Amino acid sequence: MKAKRTICFILLAALLPAILAVNAACGRGGSPNQPHTTDEPAAPMEELSVSVLKVGKADAIILKTGESCMVIDAGEEDDGAEICAFLEKSGVSRVDALIITHFDKDHVGGADKLIDAFPVERVIMPDYESTAAQYLEFIAALEKKSIAPERIRSNTELSLGTAQVLVEPPVNYPAPSANEETDNDCSLITTVTHGRNRLIFMGDAEKYRLRDWLDGGAAQSCDFIKVPHHGRYNAMLSELFAAVRPKYAVICSSDKNPAEDKTLKLLSNIGAEVYETRFGNVAAISNGISLELSQEG
């Protein structure tokens, strides 16, 4: 009988650490198979605002939280003054980070005016060269202000007030080709995490870049996506939308160049609420728990 009690005691001692681990997990509101997330806010955070401007078939996106401001792309050359006016009206006195996703004229065109008008603390861009006039004007503006841009080849992280920002370049930049444009597939992809909310800005990523990003394992479900390439359809979009399953999708479009029906159908199939900038500026407000979108009529 004594031997049996000794065996039971040994078994109990061996199992005790596992029992305590299960109890600890359950006590935190989790389970052994579902790790508890510790960085979710228990109460609303300082607001993050995202403004996607109506500047035709071009990207101009402004993010603000507290005194911090980040700009993703700067539209075409004629959009520079409008972007600067919007920043001034919003009370922005400096830009903490300017991300240029790639060097097409509808993304880099107004960047020189922005750099001339505001102190810009940090410029992040892809690591390739262009001979386009708007790119050369952008580089000249950087040199004039003695700003050394970061041409990235690896993931880059930064903070924007209460938000965390991840900027991802291609794993391999596509080789320039005389027969086809490769700029879009050089696009930087930016993920902004604000409490529970995740917002993804895709630049003009096309099939090569989307395949690269999805195969890299970076895709996660999100609350908001800035749809790549102004809503133009390509065969990779179905896989992209299935992977990130956004609640909201914003498309930078114009009446002359609206989003393609195939793209809109894919978004409808996953239940995303779609906004096109051809109908007005789109505003998103995150408090770290909820995310609300609205559009100027």
Report helix, strand or coil for 80.
Answer: helix
What's the one-letter identity of residue 7?
Answer: I
Q: Is 5 a domain residue?
A: no
- Classify residue 141 as left (phi > 0), alpha (psi -120 to 50) or beta: alpha
Q: Is 26 a domain residue?
A: no
What CATH number has the domain bearing residue 276? 3.60.15.10
Whole-number Å distance between alpha carbons of 57 and 106:
7
Which pLDDT value is given to residue 27? Answer: 36
Beta pairing, strands 224-226 & 156-160: unpaired
Whole-number Å distance between alpha carbons of 233 and 266:
9
Q: Is 221 a domain residue?
A: yes
The two tokens of residue 241 are 């939308």
As to burial, measured by CB atoms within 10 angstroms (0-12 exposed, 13-18 middle, 19+ buried), residue 270 is: middle
Which pLDDT value is given to residue 217? Answer: 84
Whole-number Å distance between alpha carbons of 242 and 213:
14
Q: What does the buried/exposed string (b/e) look like for 2-19 if buried means 16 or more CB atoms within 10 Å of the residue's CB?
A: eeeeeeeeeeeeeeeeee
Strand partners, 193: 164, 198
Cβ(192)–Cβ(63) below 8 Å: yes
pLDDT in tens, the chain (297 residues): 444 444 444 444 444 444 444 343 333 333 333 333 335 676 789 999 999 999 999 999 999 999 999 999 999 999 999 999 999 999 999 999 999 999 999 999 999 999 999 999 999 999 999 999 999 999 999 999 999 999 999 999 999 999 999 999 999 898 776 556 789 999 999 999 999 999 999 999 999 999 999 998 888 999 999 999 999 999 999 999 999 999 999 999 999 999 999 999 999 999 999 999 999 999 999 999 999 999 997
Q: Is 180 a domain residue?
A: yes
Give the torsion sign (CA, 69, 137, 213, 51).
positive
Q: Is 24 a domain residue?
A: no
Whole-number Å distance between alpha carbons of 232 and 203:
12
CA distance to 15, 23, 91, per residue, from 18 (Å): 6, 9, 55
Q: Is 227 a domain residue?
A: yes
If residue 23 lies in a helix (H) or strand (E), which one and from where to where? Answer: helix 2-27
Which pLDDT value is given to residue 17? Answer: 44
Which pLDDT value is given to residue 179? Answer: 59
Cβ(79)–Cβ(109) below 8 Å: yes
Residue showing tokens 């159908």:
265
Domain total of the chain: 1
Q: Is 7 a domain residue?
A: no
Whole-number Å distance between alpha carbons of 91 and 65:
12
Q: Is 220 a domain residue?
A: yes
Q: Which domain holds residue 183?
A: 48-295
